[in-house]
Structure 1
Amino acid sequence: MYSKQENQRLKQEFWITFAEQYPRKWVLYDTKIKDFSFKFFVDNTKAQVSIEIEHRNEEKRLAYFDKIVALKNILEDEFIKDLVYQKNHTLESGKTISKIWVEQLGITVSNRAYWNTIFDFFFEKMNALEMFYLEYDEFIKDIE
């Protein structure tokens, strides 16, 4: 069992190593859509890559989500399979967002033996989501 400080150091080392192995600029928050972002997540049970739509205006949040769902067949046939679509996802803070994600279970950030598996998963899945977004961003952005 690691102390809180050791866990923080390990996670920092994890992200630095990932950046060194896959040195590229990810889209992440640079989507040109307010509160629409791509996120990496890893803990001691899973790794996850997601699109999170956190717009305060529920109507706009749902409109962006519906745009992606309208492209679901293209997204899954041409870019990435096994996505989970959740129109109303509640965060620990109580905030409701829309979330689309894919995850890999049975891995842990605390064990360096899993790191390359996580890095490969992150790269493959985030790259696929970004390629989809870059191809269809104009359609997704057009909610007015």
Structure 2
Amino acid sequence: MYSKTEAHHLRQAFWTTFGQYMQPVPSAEGLPTNWINYKTGLRHVYFRLHADGKRARVAIEITHRDAGLRELYYEQFRELRPMLEDVTGETWTWEPAALDDHGQAIARISQELTPVNLFSRDDWPQLISFFKPRLLALDEFWSTGQYAFDELR
């Protein structure tokens, strides 16, 4: 078991390492991108990366407080599901009603990897190999898919 400080430092070291690894990789549009804090340009829609001592997850999270609007965004993503799964080459998990880390209602579309441990440096190559292609695929998907949300902006 790690102390809070050790866990914080390992978490920080992993995300710094991953950010440095991804820094030279341009977006689908050829632009420099902050991959760790990816900007979708759409309020309440985030690409989230999560890793802990048991699992890793790449997710699209819709965080709008209004349940009706959150559902509208989610349904728009459902329309784009064939394109998302074609670009990623995977079937994703679709959760119209999930909770975030703070207990707030969200909608989530995700891929998960288990078992994997962020706190074991031996698992870092596996984590990077999980995150990188999915994040690049999400970026490729979003480079064209974002326009389907123009009316919701």
TM-score between the two structures when normalised by the length of structure 1: 0.91
- Shift, 1:29, TM fit: 5.0
What is the match of residue 139 of structure 1?
148
Corresponding position of 1:22: 22
> What is the aligned partner in structure 1 of residue 28 from structure 2?
none
- Structure 2 match to 1:11: 11
Name the amino acid aligned to 1:137.
Q
Corresponding pairs, count: 144
CA distance in 1, matches of 2:92, 2:37: 18
Which of 3-12 and 24-33 deviates more?
A: 24-33
Q: Which amino acid aligns with 2:123?
A: Y
RMSD over equivalenced CA pairs, Å: 1.8
Amino acid in structure 2 at the alignment position of 1:13: A
- Alignment counterpart, residue 69 of structure 2, candidates 25, 39, 60: 60
Letter of the 2:14 counterpart: F
Misfit runs of 4+, over 3 Å: none
Q: Secondary structure at the match of 1:142?
A: helix
Q: CA deviation at 1:32?
A: 2.0
Structure 2 residue runs without a partner (length 5+): 26-32
Q: Residue 140 and residue 79 in structure 1: after superposition, are their counterparts in 2 closer, same or farther (change >3 A)?
A: farther
Q: Is the 8 A contact 2:45 2:60 kept in 1?
A: yes
Check the 8 A contact 1:27/1:130 in 2, yes or no. Answer: no
Q: In structure 2, what is the Cα distance between the partners aligned to 1:12 and 1:43?
A: 12
Whether 1:89 aligns to 2:107 is: no
* Inter-partner Cα distance in structure 1 for 2:70 and 2:134: 23
**Alignment of structure 1 residues 64-83 onto 2, 5 Å:** 64-83=73-92
Whole-angstrom distance in 2 between the partners of 1:76 and 1:28: 22
- The residue number in structure 2 matching 1:112 is 121
TM-score (norm 2): 0.86
Q: CA 1:93–1:21 in 2, change beyond 3 Å: closer, same or farther? A: closer
Letter paired with 1:140: F
Structure 2 CA distance for partners of 1:92 and 1:47, relative to 1, 3 Å: closer
> % of aligned pairs identical?
28
Give, in whole Å, the separation in 1 of the partners of 2:145 and 2:120: 37
What amino acid maps onto 2:140 in structure 1? M
| Superposed CA offset, 1:55-110 (max 9, x none) | 12222211111011112122212324131000111234331111000011111011
Work out the CA distance in 1 between the residues paired with 2:124 and 2:136: 18
